[in-house]
Amino acid sequence: MELADVLATNKALVKVAKLYRSAQAEVLSGLALHPGQDVLLWMLGQEPGGVTVSEIAARLGVEQPTVTRSLTRLEHGGWFVRQSVPGDRRATRITLTDKGLSTIPEIEAAWRTLAETATAGIATEQQAILIGLLEKVRENLLTLTDESAG
């Protein structure tokens, strides 16, 4: 790859990543959420019986302390409740409250806004190609990181 192409590629990826994260933060701020918290709450919304911290970590592909920190930040918002797991004193089951459950459609609407805004003016066929290309970029970048899930 020529240096000009290297520079253009890096510049485009950095600009899009930063701008997407900024737009995501702006859209989620209307729900009193920060990026990452939406994914956590949405995942909890898919589990009406609740899930343990270790199950959340496994599904999100992160370490348990990361989940614990995220939950601690969300806890005062009344989004979920913690319940002990019978037979396992160390485990805690996380279940969304009515407030948390009612936020799930709003999170999905925020995601729709982000996706539709990001792909405005791009034909449906081109959107499918874009998704494939972004997945390939992600796959390529995984070879440079320790990240293996998500």
pLDDT digits (tens, 9 = 90+) for 24-34: 999 999 999 99
Structural domain contains residue 85: yes
Structural domain contains residue 107: yes
Q: Could you tell me the CATH number of the domain that includes residue 24?
A: 1.10.10.10
Domain holding 70, by residue range, is 3-119
Rg (CA), the chain: 18
pLDDT at 146 over 90: no
pLDDT at 145 over 90: no
Structural domain contains residue 16: yes
What is the tally of structural domains in the chain? 1
pLDDT at 148 over 80: no
**Can you tell me whether residue 66 is helix, strand or coil?**
helix
**Can you tell me whether residue 85 is helix, strand or coil?**
strand
Mean pLDDT of 97-113: 96
Residue 147: what pLDDT? 63
Take residue 76 and report the two structure tokens written for it. 């005062």
C-alpha 81/C-alpha 116 separation (Å) is: 33
